Amino acid sequence: MAEPATGVVDAALLNPAESEERTEPAWGAVVSLALGVFGLVTAEFLPASLLTPMASDLGVSEGVAGQAVTATAIVGAIAAPTMAIITRRMDRRLVMWMLTVLLILSNLLATFASSLSVLLLARVVLGVALGGFWAMSAAMALRLVPMRLMPRAMSIILTGVSLATVCAAPIGAYVGEVWGWRTAFMIATVVGALALLVQLATIPRLPPAGVASFRTLLDVLERPMIRVALLVVLLVASGHFAGFTYVRPFLEKVPVLDIETISLVLLAYGIGGFFGNVAGGILAERNLKAAVALAPLLIALAAASMLVFGASPAVAAAAVAAWGFGFGAVPVGLQTWLVRAAPDQAESAGGLMVATFQVAIALGAVFGGLLVDHAGVASAFAYCGIATLLAALAAFLLGPKPADS
């Protein structure tokens, strides 16, 4: 993901020679960043698979418990653009170590949370770590490998996202059922600790370079195609998280699946997301507009299928897997679109995408929670279908031109 900080540009990004100074790639450090993102994404999405037992244990409704996702997203959106400014005089490896420590602290707080307020505090801490990581990761990668190896480095780092998508939901649901939801967060704590150990051993000194600025953010926002792309991001992400945050209650109440089957369905979602990521990249190379539009359209069709035919376990399982495939393809197409729409300010464009994505997560989780508590879980899936369908239409009608594909 190209420098996911809202307009904050590290000097290493503006000066490619900074990364060329390293003639030998520091692959160990790159892998340590992949472990870090695996831990962060795992922690971010655990509530989706643990919502029912968390809500019951803390004595709140599922809609209220779902706001654990909202807290992380809001803080992440704030942390992303401000982290580089706050830490502008610090060695970048120290910043990364600090962020991983916050990941560990967040999981520990969640493990021992005795109330909703403590759980929300844990998710706020996670939001700082998550937003800060995405603000720094691409800039760090540029300084860890020669420029020609940058795509490979980012591919390795983002593998952590794919693996977490596959593992977090099904394993979290199973562990939460067998040993309790707190055990799932304790395991996430161990994952974060292992990532920190590898980072301590592998990340070299990376002194701060230059002063962070928001100026490029305003420049990029003036471009019409960027604004259209961010609208698509907002619709897709808010729709997805309004629905998927409450997928477990839906599977429990509509097709009435047991926990073992739900774990398998969530595993199918994760595997679908992994292959969707691969397919999205292949399609984006050939037809960018199709890649950007078809992914949210598939999510809309999956949500509609669950609403109409969701009482069938087979249909519900297939729809969740298709949903995962569609959502896995979303980031690849949207990132490519944003970068091609602003090739001279690719990092700021990527940062805008992350900030918009985090805001959309918060909006989707809040709205989804209100719908679930007042109109039933099916209403959240209805909103998901409508929002993602609108995103697909916007991409088809206003998306990247054939010349950009």
pLDDT in tens, 83-92: 777 777 788 8
Query: CA 352, CA 356: separation in Å to the nearest integer?
Result: 6
Three-state secondary structure call for residue 162: helix
Say what the alpha-carbon torsion angle 317, 323, 329, 335 is, to the nearest 10 degrees: -150
Burial call 233-258: b when 16+ CB within 10 Å, e when fewer: bbbbbbbbbbbbbbbbbbbeebbebe
> Which of 12, 21, 10 lies closest to 146, judged by CA?
21
**pLDDT-flagged residues of the chain (< 70):** 1-22, 138, 147-148, 150-152, 154-155, 209-217, 281, 285, 339, 343-351, 402-405
Query: CA 239, CA 49: separation in Å to the nearest integer?
Result: 18
Residue 278 CB neighbours (<10 A):
13
How is residue 314 written in tokens? 């087979």
How is residue 65 written in tokens? 């418990």
Query: CA 90, CA 83: separation in Å to the nearest integer?
Result: 11
Q: What is the pTM of this model?
A: 0.67
> Which of 306, 275, 316 lies closest to 388, judged by CA?
306
Q: What is residue 202's predicted lDDT score, i.e. its pLDDT?
A: 94
Three-state secondary structure call for residue 5: coil
How is residue 210 written in tokens? 């230059």
Element (H, E) at 331: helix 313-341
How is residue 384 written in tokens? 């998901």
Three-state secondary structure call for residue 193: helix
Query: CA 202, CA 27: separation in Å to the nearest integer?
Result: 9
Q: What is residue 198's predicted lDDT score, i.e. its pLDDT?
A: 95
> Which of 15, 25, 338 lies closest to 154, judged by CA?
25
Query: CA 148, CA 344: separation in Å to the nearest integer?
Result: 18
Residue 8 CB neighbours (<10 A):
26
Q: What is residue 343's predicted lDDT score, i.e. its pLDDT?
A: 65
Q: What is residue 6's predicted lDDT score, i.e. its pLDDT?
A: 34
Largest CA distance in the chain: 59
Kindly report the length of the chain: 405
Q: What is residue 339's predicted lDDT score, i.e. its pLDDT?
A: 67
